[in-house]
């Protein structure tokens, strides 16, 4: 990097827009969506999709709900042409879906593209040419008038050769992109868009689409919004124009730039699933759509099974959705931090049907997009007591007393430290089971029964202490009190019961009960124990033995 001061780069110039309106607006409706996965996204792949993969991907886009899908660049190659023809000839395009193709301003390419669209019910012809000063200087060695002439002539050829399509019944729409719009002088961008609009002569029933692309992202999102509002304020046929966005992500702010540009008046968004595209990628439509959804605006796209969408995307593109990608990433609904886990656990019970979603650290209900609640909390050495308790309750049904959370949390964290990595939920259960439910030494319960008379309970028990059998009997005000008194007749250390809790595991007559007992030893230390049995009384006795064994280890 260049040492300060940095003279190699210059700040992107702001837009003179003193009365900008977009900062005070709120998004209240979804834009028109156009997927460019099969063209812009596909050309960015190291190994482009096969025709069969593109067909599967097209079906996925239709299923999600896209009504405008850019299917390719049919004049660029025979494969692209053939794919377009298969979609039409095999009747794969629903009547309410328009396919879009891209083409440069050259007559032979326009003729070839029109040929590819024969028989389509709805088609969008997307014409483009580069307009920025450096493109004009370095690539074309052309003046502004030359560039306008190229665009105008291209629009005339589309109208001329597209007449046959229209006559045959195709609803043909026209889209124009001043490529590199965001690095083009705004007055010139306006001038060329007006000239092309003059040729197309849009009507209320067939508006022109002016796509204003951030082909390379140079400026901050607020400048992009200013550019869109500036254009929208000055188009002479704004009511007959659909302003479309096509943001790339070179600065990592493509999503923000799109959202602010929608506030600035844009009507339409082009992008790809999960942001696949050249360099750092195109706009991620999944994220923008679900961002709208979390603000109470239905995007008009169905991402209720995001896992299936991700699976098709990854298989067809050979790319992977990053683990921390919004909404769809493997770890999106995963909290490793103990404080986060605890907050999630505490806020989740307050979420009631019909109330606005308000679970801490989770801005969208995972169930709305087909994600599983099971992955929300995962445990490693950094996890807290709340996360461990959450897993045991939501995965295995153990509703631990609150005071027990700290105890089991430390046990699990020590185990994770020793392992040196993340614990699977089954490992957490296994550690809990070994620590609380499987302890049979030095004290083992072999037999227990009670009789009740005159509000007192007598217990008869057989236990083994260090494998030596002992027959015990005692009377108390209940089974737990009687058993503790019976244990007091042995050489075992004295203790008292501090707390008791129980609940059922499962439902029905065969459901088991789980009991949690906290004891305090004569040394002033406290320990929890747990026991499971179909008999709630016996589950409590097992919990006492569990706590006692844990104190004697």
> What CATH number is associated with residue 517?
3.30.160.270
Residue 48 lies in a domain: yes
Please say if the pLDDT value at position 96 is more than 70.
yes
Please say if the pLDDT value at position 352 is more than 80.
yes
Residue 254 lies in a domain: yes
Check residue 377 and give its pLDDT: 59
Same domain as 171, residue 284: yes
Order of strands, edge to edge, in the sheet holding 456-465?
443-453, 456-465, 468-476
Same domain as 131, residue 36: yes
CATH of the domain at 215: 3.20.20.70
Mapped onto helix, strand or coil, the DSSP state of residue 429 is helix
- DSSP class of residue 67 equals S
pLDDT digits (tens, 9 = 90+) for 328-344: 998 898 887 778 888 88
Q: What is the DSSP string of 359-407?
A: -TT-SS-GGGGT--GGGSB-B-TT--HHHHHHHHHHHH-----HHHHHH
Tally DSSP H helices, then E strands, for the chain.
17, 14
pLDDT digits (tens, 9 = 90+) for 141-187: 999 999 999 999 999 999 999 999 999 999 999 999 999 999 999 99
Q: What is the DSSP string of 205-257?
A: TB-EEEEEEESS--S-HHHHHHHHHHHHHH-TTGGGEEEEEEEB-TTS-HHHH
Residue 200 in contact with residue 208, Cβ under 8 Å? yes
Check residue 373 and give its pLDDT: 54
Please say if the pLDDT value at position 301 is more than 90.
yes
Residue 11 lies in a domain: no
Same domain as 374, residue 522: no
Same domain as 264, residue 237: yes
Check residue 378 and give its pLDDT: 64
Out of 387-391, 416-420, 517-521, the most confident range is 517-521
Same domain as 402, residue 263: no
CA distance 117 to 125: 9
Average pLDDT, the chain: 94
Name which residue leads in pLDDT, 507 or 412: 412
Percent of the chain with pLDDT over 90: 86
Check residue 390 and give its pLDDT: 83
Order of strands, edge to edge, in the sheet holding 512-521?
495-505, 512-521, 526-533
CA distance 201 to 240: 9
Residue 332 lies in a domain: no
CA distance 243 to 245: 7
The model's confidence at residue 199, banded by pLDDT at 50, 70 and 90, is very high
Same domain as 284, residue 383: no
Q: By residue range, what is the domain housing residue 242?
A: 32-317
Greatest CA span in the chain, whole angstroms?
A: 108
Q: 255, 283, 317: which is the final residue of a domain?
A: 317
Kindly report whether the peptide bond that precedes residue 204 is cis, defined as omega within 30 degrees of 0: no
Residue 162 in contact with residue 114, Cβ under 8 Å? yes
Check residue 376 and give its pLDDT: 58
C-alpha distances in angstroms, 88 versus 99, 123, 170, 297?
Answer: 9, 11, 12, 33
CA 149 to the chain's CA centroid: 45
Same domain as 546, residue 477: yes
Check residue 374 and give its pLDDT: 55
Angle among Cα 92, 118, 277 to the nearest 5 degrees reads 60
Check residue 313 and give its pLDDT: 97
- DSSP class of residue 29 equals S
Check residue 65 and give its pLDDT: 98
The four Cα atoms 45, 48, 52, 55 give a dihedral, to 10 degrees, of: 50
Please say if the pLDDT value at position 464 is more than 80.
yes
Same domain as 155, residue 41: yes
Mapped onto helix, strand or coil, the DSSP state of residue 425 is helix
- Domain count along the chain: 3
The model's confidence at residue 388, banded by pLDDT at 50, 70 and 90, is confident
Pairing between strand 468-476 and 98-104?
unpaired
Mapped onto helix, strand or coil, the DSSP state of residue 163 is helix
Same domain as 422, residue 483: no
Helix (H) or strand (E) holding 126: strand 122-130
Same domain as 229, residue 215: yes
Give 481: exposed, middle or buried? Use CB within 10 Å, 0-12, 13-18, 19+.
Answer: middle
Mean of pLDDT values over 96-119: 98
C-alpha distances in angstroms, 476 versus 120, 125, 457, 473?
Answer: 87, 89, 5, 10
Please say if the pLDDT value at position 59 is more than 60.
yes
The four Cα atoms 54, 55, 60, 63 give a dihedral, to 10 degrees, of: 150
Q: 282, 317, 352: which is the final residue of a domain?
A: 317
CA distance 482 to 372: 46
Same domain as 395, residue 501: no
CA distance 113 to 34: 19
pLDDT digits (tens, 9 = 90+) for 402-430: 889 989 989 998 998 888 878 888 999 99
Same domain as 102, residue 181: yes
Check residue 379 and give its pLDDT: 72
Residue 7 lies in a domain: no
pLDDT digits (tens, 9 = 90+) for 16-27: 999 999 999 999
Q: What is the DSSP string of 512-525?
A: EEEEEEEEEETTS-
Check residue 508 and give its pLDDT: 75
Residue 211 lies in a domain: yes
The angle that helices 402-419 and 425-432 make with each other, rounded to 10 degrees, is 110
Residue 25 lies in a domain: no
């Amino acid at each position: 990097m260049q040492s300060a001061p940095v003279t190699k780069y210059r700040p992107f110039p702001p837009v003179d827009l003193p009365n900008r309106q977009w900062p005070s607006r709120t998004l209240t409706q979804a834009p028109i969506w156009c997927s460019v996965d099969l063209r812009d996204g596909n050309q960015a792949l190291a190994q482009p999709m096969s025709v069969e993969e593109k067909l599967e991907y097209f079906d996925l886009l239709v299923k999600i709900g896209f009504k405008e899908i850019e299917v390719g660049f049919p004049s660029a190659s025979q494969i692209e042409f053939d794919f377009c023809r298969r979609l039409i000839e095999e009747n794969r395009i629903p009547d309410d879906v328009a396919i879009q193709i891209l083409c440069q301003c050259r007559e032979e390419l326009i003729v070839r593209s029109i040929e590819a669209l024969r028989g389509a019910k709805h088609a969008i012809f997307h014409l483009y040419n580069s307009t920025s000063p450096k493109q004009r200087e370095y690539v074309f060695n052309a003046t502004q008038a030359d560039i306008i002439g190229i665009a105008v002539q291209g629009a005339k050829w589309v109208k001329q050769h597209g007449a046959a399509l229209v006559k045959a019944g195709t609803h043909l729409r026209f889209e124009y992109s001043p490529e590199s719009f965001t690095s083009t002088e705004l007055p010139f961008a306006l001038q060329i868009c007006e000239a092309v609009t003059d040729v197309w002569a849009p009507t209320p029933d067939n508006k022109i689409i002016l796509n204003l692309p951030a082909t390379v992202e140079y400026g901050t999102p607020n400048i992009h919004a200013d550019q869109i509002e500036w254009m929208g304020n000055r188009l002479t046929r704004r009511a007959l124009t659909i302003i479309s966005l096509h943001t790339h992500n070179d600065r990592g702010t493509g999503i923000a730039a799109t959202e602010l540009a929608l506030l600035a008046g844009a009507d339409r968004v082009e992008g790809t699933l999960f942001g696949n595209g050249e360099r750092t990628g195109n706009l991620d439509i999944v994220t923008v759509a679900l961002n709208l959804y979390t603000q109470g605006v239905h995007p008009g796209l169905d991402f209720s099974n995001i896992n299936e969408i991700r699976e098709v995307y990854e298989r067809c593109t050979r790319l992977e959705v990053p683990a921390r990608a919004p909404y769809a990433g493997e770890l999106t609904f995963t909290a490793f931090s103990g404080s986060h886990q605890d907050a999630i656990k505490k806020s989740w019970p307050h979420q009631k049907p019909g109330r606005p979603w308000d679970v801490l650290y989770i801005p969208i209900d995972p169930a709305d997009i087909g994600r599983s609640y099971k992955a929300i909390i995962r445990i490693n050495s950094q996890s807290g007591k709340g996360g461990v308790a959450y897993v045991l309750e939501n995965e295995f049904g153990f509703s631990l007393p609150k005071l027990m959370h700290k105890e089991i949390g430390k046990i699990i964290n020590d185990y994770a430290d020793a392992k040196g990595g993340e614990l699977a939920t089954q490992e957490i259960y296994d550690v809990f089971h070994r620590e609380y439910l499987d302890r049979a030494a030095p004290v083992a319960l072999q037999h227990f029964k009670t009789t009740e008379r005159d509000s007192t309970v007598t217990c008869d028990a057989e236990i083994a202490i260090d494998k030596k059998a002992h027959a015990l009997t005692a009377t108390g005000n209940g089974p737990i009190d009687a058993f503790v008194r019976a244990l007091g007749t042995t050489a075992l250390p004295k203790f008292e019961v501090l707390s008791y809790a129980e609940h059922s595991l499962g439902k029905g007559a065969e459901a088991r009960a789980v009991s949690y007992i906290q004891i305090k030893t004569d040394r002033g230390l406290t320990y929890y124990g747990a026991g499971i049995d179909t008999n709630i009384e016996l589950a409590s006795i097992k919990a006492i033995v569990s706590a006692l064994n844990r104190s004697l280890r």
